[in-house]
Structure 1
Amino acid sequence: MKKNILITGCSSGIGYDTAHYLHQNGYKVYATARKEEDVKRLRSEGLDAYLLDVTSSSNIKKILDFITKDKELYAVFNNAGFGQPGAVEDITTDALKEQFETNFFGLHELTRQSLKIMRKQGYGRILQHSSVLGIISLRFRGAYNASKYAIEGLCDTLRLELMDTDIFVCTINTGPVRSDFRQNALKMFKKNVISKGSIFEREYNEELLESKEEKENDPFTKNSVVVIKNIVHALEAKKPQARYYNTLATHILGALKRVLTTSMLDKILIKI
């Protein structure tokens, strides 16, 4: 029997590429997206795709009930998420709540419901998509940083609570990967941040609003294949790693976080 996996946030980027890769390599993939047009597109490409809004507990239960009606649940990849740029003082509490609803609370709800199934069956894999920004922080990324730091704390706790089981929680720390993430983040910035008159107006214009195309020879921005390699290991290794660093940027910044003082690291991060 094929191992099955539920993947959230499959409309583009890492979720999209992972769903196709695993589908082509023997997995039974349940690819999900929040918009009906994305679900239709995924189905037209040969994927078993379903509508799933991770902020809806009832929607999550419905899809899990469907998957486990005749089979067990091998794995979940909590990939859905978005970025909300803007300085902390320019981000409203409502915008911060919106960031957490998808990036953290939705992830927690799917994890919580999945664990009930996995505890009953005695095994499972839960892959949580964090970020290099769950390890270090960058300015104008406060909402996103906070949501990813929250995931780190949740995963560290879950590992302790699941230590005597065959249910593994793996944190996927992804650095810059080519996707629609930056474009979608810019939309959220324009939606939720009033940049005109902000003390950071000039920086916003220079660093966020000006069009900057990704360079193919950029040594830090990679294609999603670097992430998929680690996802496969997390799914197939007898004892998967607790944490997977993806891209050179994640490895470098993760190492600097461990060896530098806070003030020394801040001097580097302010330049990024």
Structure 2
Amino acid sequence: MEYIIVTGTSRGIGFELSKLLANAGYKVLALSRNEKPIKNLKHKNIQTFSFDVSSVSDREKLASYLKDNGKVRALINNAGRLLNKPFLETTDEEFKSVYEVNVFGVAAITKLVIPYMSSTGHVLTISSMGGIQGSAKFPGLSAYSSSKGAVLTFTELLAEEFKETGPSFNALALGAVQTEMLEEAFPGYKAPVSAIEMAEYVMNFALNGQKLYNGKILQVSSSTP
């Protein structure tokens, strides 16, 4: 049986997305450092284990799981690390830690999963409007927004490399969504979109977007620029 992998599922979009997919009858592997919120759902269509995308040993655990569990219909790279700190105060370690999750983790997991996907499979990476060249930028997000720009180009490159065999690769550059991560980075800011509203959009695109799109960056934001 085919299943869908979602990363970053302890809260926000990833948590709501896992529930939506499972309630719609899809088998879901929900991966997050804190697996308790998903485990507490006790949903028959969801499997989970503690998983840090930047951990080599955790990625080996995922590799073992993949060998035993058949085909992957879609991979949704949703896990992310956000740092809001002035550039001159950001340590090398902090800057690298953002890239370990948002870029290197995405690349490593994608490499593991591709062999288990068919030509109609879909790798969907959740990025940010902050990674779009020419979009509004915010001080303090030098590590986060630049990492989100990197995975957009990465998506385009993989779509080109696998265009003859599949799977398809797309990315969604999201505007502000009301999540715990946003609240931590920008206390008091109110986003125009809820986590569940965005999760519904992401689910539909993950399941169907590859039929019409490949190597595309979709800007999912109601604000301009």
| TM score, norm. by length of structure 2 | 0.87
- Looking at CA atoms only, which structure, 1 or 2, has the larger radius of gyration? 1
Q: For residue 233 of structure 1, what is the aligned residue in structure 2? A: 205
SS in 1 for 2:71: coil
The gaps in structure 1 that reach 5 residues or longer are 186-207, 215-219, 254-272
Cα deviations by residue, 1:78-135 (Å, 9 ceiling, x for unpaired): 11112111222221211100111111111111011112333xx544211111110111
Runs of at least 4 residues off by over 3 Å:
none
The verdict on how the C-alpha distance between 1:60 and 1:169 changes in structure 2, with shifts beyond 3 A counting, is: same
Q: Is the 8 A contact 1:230 1:244 kept in 2?
A: no
Q: For residue 110 of structure 1, what is the aligned residue in structure 2? A: 109
SS in 1 for 2:177: coil
| TM score, norm. by length of structure 1 | 0.73
- What is the one-letter code of the residue matched to 2:99? F
- What is the one-letter code of the residue matched to 2:194? N
Partners of 2:60 and 2:212 in 1: CA distance: 27
User: Identity across aligned pairs (percent)?
Assistant: 25
Matched residues, number: 216
Q: For residue 9 of structure 2, what is the aligned residue in structure 1? A: 10
- What is the one-letter code of the residue matched to 1:247? S
Please show how residues 10-159 of structure 1 align to structure 2 within 5 Å: 10-35=9-34, 39-45=35-41, 46=43, 47-118=46-117, 121-135=118-132, 136=135, 137-159=137-159
- Bigger proportion of residues as strand: 2
Partners of 2:167 and 2:189 in 1: CA distance: 41
Q: State which of 198, 201, 212 in structure 1 corresponds to 2:188.
A: 212
Q: Is the 8 A contact 2:10 2:36 kept in 1?
A: no
Partners of 2:51 and 2:138 in 1: CA distance: 30
The verdict on how the C-alpha distance between 1:182 and 1:237 changes in structure 2, with shifts beyond 3 A counting, is: closer
Q: Is the 8 A contact 1:226 1:247 kept in 2?
A: no
Partners of 2:209 and 2:143 in 1: CA distance: 33
The gaps in structure 2 that reach 5 residues or longer are none
- Bigger proportion of residues as helix: 1
Q: Is the 8 A contact 2:17 2:200 kept in 1?
A: yes
Q: For residue 162 of structure 2, what is the aligned residue in structure 1? A: 162
Partners of 1:110 and 1:138 in 2: CA distance: 29
RCO comparison, higher one (Cα < 8 Å, 6+): 2
- What is the one-letter code of the residue matched to 2:38? L
Partners of 1:178 and 1:238 in 2: CA distance: 27
Q: State which of 207, 212, 219 in structure 2 corresponds to 1:245.
A: 219
Cα deviations by residue, 1:122-158 (Å, 9 ceiling, x for unpaired): 4421111111011133222111111111111111111
User: C-alpha root-mean-square deviation of aligned residues, in Å?
Assistant: 2.0
- What is the one-letter code of the residue matched to 2:123? I
